[in-house]
Each structure stands twice: as structure tokens, then as C-alpha cells.
A = this chain, B = another copy of it.
Amino acid sequence: MTGMNLVGPEADALDLGAVFRALADEHRRSVMTELAVDRSDSERGCNSFDLPISKQTQTHHFRVLREAGLIDEIDYGNRKGIRLRRADIEKRFPGLLALLGAESPGGTAPR
């Protein structure tokens, strides 16, 4: 089976409190900002975001993002994929990703 065994809440069950708590951390927010800017929404590797923290801590952060419903984690056994749940987020919290994208250091305005 190819992945997706790690699941978060349904689109309608996304909790704004959990989302804000997830985005309160600088590292998690930088991940979400990168994802928000990349309009291709392609699956990304966990270490494509170079976070200055240990891999155990990265595991923790990605879990928080998944449990908040912001990303999907695709488990391949010895490798993991990350994908932004853009449609679900836009449906439940329209404009949130734009706020994150506007914070992109490259000045990558959503237009």
C-alpha cells in the first residue's frame, strides 16, 4: 500500500485553536509558509525544508501539523512524504494560506 496511513481530522473538523497552536511555533510556521507559496502542491520530502533541529523534533512538528489537519503525511516505511491540504484549509479557513504566503521572505505575494 502506498502511504497515507497517517491521517488527520476531516476537513469539516478542523479546529481553529489547534491550527493557531500549530502555527504559533516558528519552525512549523516556516514549513507552512513554504508550502503555502508553492502552488504546485506537490509531495515533498521531510528534509526538503532545512530545519535547524534534530530529526526527532522534526517528527514531532510534522505530527502536530498533521493532527491540526494542515498537512498529510505519506508513510513509505523508511521515507515520508508531506503534502499541504490546501483545498481543505481553503474551504474551512479561507484566506489563511494567503496570510502565511504573504510572510514569505522572498516577498512571494500570492498576487
* Beta-carbon contact of A20 and B24 below 8 Å: yes
Query: Interface with B: A1-9, A54-62, A69-77, A96-104, which one?
Result: A96-104
State the CA gap A23–B20 with chains docked (Å): 6
Chain copies in the assembled complex? 2
Consensus secondary structure, chain A interface: helix
- Residues of the B chain whose Cβ atoms lie less than 8 Å from the Cβ of A26: 17
A residues contacting B by CB (< 8 A) are 16-17, 20-21, 23-24, 26, 29, 93-96, 98-100, 103
* Beta-carbon contact of A103 and B16 below 8 Å: yes
- Min CB distance A98 to B, Å, is 7
The 7 closest A-B CB pairs, nearest first, are A95-B95, A24-B24, A21-B24, A20-B23, A20-B24, A16-B103, A20-B20
